[in-house]
């Protein structure tokens, strides 16, 4: 997204502005929430494989910690901007608040092109970045996690670097770690699980029976493929899926395991036996009960929103629906479970990983999933009730609920010194 098109931080502040009017937010609290609490900008000189030193730019934005330690991912991308990181830190604050976990919001980013870097170069960037922000992170201060082009291996390097600096092992300093280093069971599919729990709860509200219901999934990566598995377990027929290569449809339903196997073997879902290829944009307009956007931002726009026939949209991706599209979907009585809630399963299990690490425990997948279920159902109910209270869509209801919780914490804490 270019800054000319849309500034993500300005968008985040517009959301705050409209929510502040809705909930009659204390102007003093609003003033405090206009800016992140802390912005770290760090210079990262790194020796590359050919021996020359390259300087990378890194950021860590800590937006608000009134409800607990800062929490948020670290992304490696050539187009990382400070305004993007500030916006993501803001949204992480609301996301943690909406599922009622005791975290604030943060985000990190390094401007680099990981696709053109060796593993050892990525390791050196990660360790240098960790060393530069080490005084500002930690289990009770700021707990990083993976994001775009970072993964459990990246977290292992951060864990080791931070622990070496401290002089003892601190597994609770990051989440999204490998299982062997204290990572949590159930983390891999937690985003999809949370998303489909939300879709299920939305179906209850609309009295849509799930047995025999139909669904379409845009995107068949981790979140999309696991969403298909969980929908199938509920008796929902997934009739269409897509990836970056194209989209497929079968009125009889697509088997999630066969579809994933085909994608792994052929590099795309396209060409799966028993399916027909359709235009990717048509997938969003199919006559289905549930639509799961699990791909790119801005997929549902003013151009196609009026053609959406789904009764429920559960947003596994970040920002798949534009504000203009939201208004159209609201008029057409489509229940949109917003990303801030629908894809919060990941950060919820990150929190559960942190709790396990702090207590030096390791829970079973069943224990983790049971707690995720309870958290997501409770959060859905609270967001739905808030949206009804203010007579607004669920996205506005979720923001109202989360921002009010943060505001209440700020007011109770007061300003010191």
Domains 35-171 and 190-333 share a fold: yes
CATH superfamily of 190-333: NAD(P)-binding Rossmann-like Domain (3.40.50.720)
Domain-by-domain residue ranges, the chain? 35-171, 190-333
User: HEC string of the chain?
Assistant: CCCCCCCHHHHHHHHHHHHHHHHCCCHHHHHHCCCCCEEEEEEEEEECCCCCEEEEEEEEEEEECCCCCEEEEEEEECCCCHHHHHHHHHHHHHHHHHCCCCCCEEEEEEECCHHHCCHHHHHHHHHHHHHHHHHHCECCCEEEEECCCCCHHHHHHHHHHHHHHHCCCCHHHCCCCCHHHCCCCCCCCHHHHHHHHHHHHHHHHHCCCCCCCEEEEECCCHHHHHHHHHHHHCCCEEEEEEECCEEEECCCCCCHHHHHHHHHHHCCCCCCCCCEEECHHHHCCCCCCEEEECCCCCCECCCCHHHCCCCEEECCCCCCECHHHHHHHHHCCCEEECHHHHCCHHHHHHHHHHHHHHCCCCCCHHHHHHHHHHHHHHHHHHHHHHHHHHCCCHHHHHHHHHHHHHHHHHHHHCCCC
pTM assigned to the model: 0.95
CATH 3.40.50.10860 fits 35-171, yes or no: yes
- Per residue of the chain (417 residues), what is the pLDDT tens digit? 443 467 889 989 999 999 999 999 999 999 999 999 999 999 999 999 999 999 999 999 999 999 999 999 999 999 999 999 999 999 999 999 999 999 999 999 999 999 999 999 999 999 999 999 999 999 999 999 999 999 999 999 999 999 999 999 999 999 999 999 999 999 999 999 999 999 999 999 999 999 999 999 999 999 999 999 999 999 999 999 999 999 999 999 999 999 999 999 999 999 999 999 999 999 999 999 999 999 988 999 999 999 999 999 999 998 899 999 999 999 999 999 999 999 999 999 999 999 999 999 999 999 999 999 999 999 999 999 999 999 999 999 999 999 999 999 999 999 999
For residue 107, indicate whether it is catalytic. yes
- Among 37, 86, 95, 107, the active-site one is 107
């Amino acid at each position: 997204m270019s800054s000319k098109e849309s500034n993500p931080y300005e968008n985040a502040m517009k959301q705050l502005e409209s929510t502040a009017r809705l909930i009659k937010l204390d102007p003093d609290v609003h003033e405090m929430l206009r800016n992140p609490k802390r912005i770290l900008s760090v210079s990262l000189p790194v020796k590359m494989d050919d021996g020359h030193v390259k300087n990378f730019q890194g950021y860590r934005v800590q937006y608000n910690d009134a409800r607990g330690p800062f929490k948020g991912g670290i992304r490696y991308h050539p187009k990382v901007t400070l305004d993007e990181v500030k916006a993501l830190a803001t949204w992480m604050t609301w996301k943690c608040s909406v599922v009622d976990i005791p975290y604030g919001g943060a985000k990190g980013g390094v401007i680099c092109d990981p696709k053109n870097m060796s593993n050892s170069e990525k390791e050196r960037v990660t360790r240098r970045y960790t060393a530069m922000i080490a005084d500002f992170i930690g289990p009770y201060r700021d707990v990083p996690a993976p994001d775009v082009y970072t993964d459990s291996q990246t977290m292992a390097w951060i864990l080791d670097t931070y622990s070496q600096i401290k002089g003892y092992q601190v597994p609770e300093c990051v989440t999204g770690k490998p299982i062997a280093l204290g990572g949590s069971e159930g983390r891999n599919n937690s985003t999809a699980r949370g998303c489909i729990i939300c879709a299920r709860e939305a179906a209850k509200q609309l009295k849509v029976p799930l047995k025999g219901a139909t669904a379409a999934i845009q995107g068949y990566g981790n979140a999309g493929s696991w969403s298909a598995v969980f929908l199938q377990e509920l008796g929902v027929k997934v009739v269409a899926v897509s990836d970056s290569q194209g989209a497929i449809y079968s009125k009889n339903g697509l088997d999630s395991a066969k579809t994933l196997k085909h994608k792994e073997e052929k590099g795309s879902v396209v060409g799966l036996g028993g399916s027909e290829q359709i235009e990717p944009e048509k997938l969003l307009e199919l006559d289905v009960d549930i639509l799961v956007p699990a791909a790119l931002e801005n997929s549902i726009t003013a151009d196609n929103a009026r053609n959406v026939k789904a009764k429920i949209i559960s947003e596994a991706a970040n920002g798949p629906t534009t504000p203009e599209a939201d208004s159209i979907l609201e008029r057409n009585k489509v229940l949109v479970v917003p990303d801030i809630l629908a894809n919060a399963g990941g950060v919820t299990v990150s929190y559960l990983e942190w709790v396990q690490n702090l207590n030096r425990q390791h829970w079973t997948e069943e224990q983790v999933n049971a707690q995720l279920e309870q958290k997501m159902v409770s959060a859905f109910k609270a967001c739905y009730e808030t949206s009804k209270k203010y007579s607004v869509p669920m996205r506005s209801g979720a923001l109202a609920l989360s921002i009010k919780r943060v505001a209440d914490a700020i007011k109770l804490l007061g300003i010191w010194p």
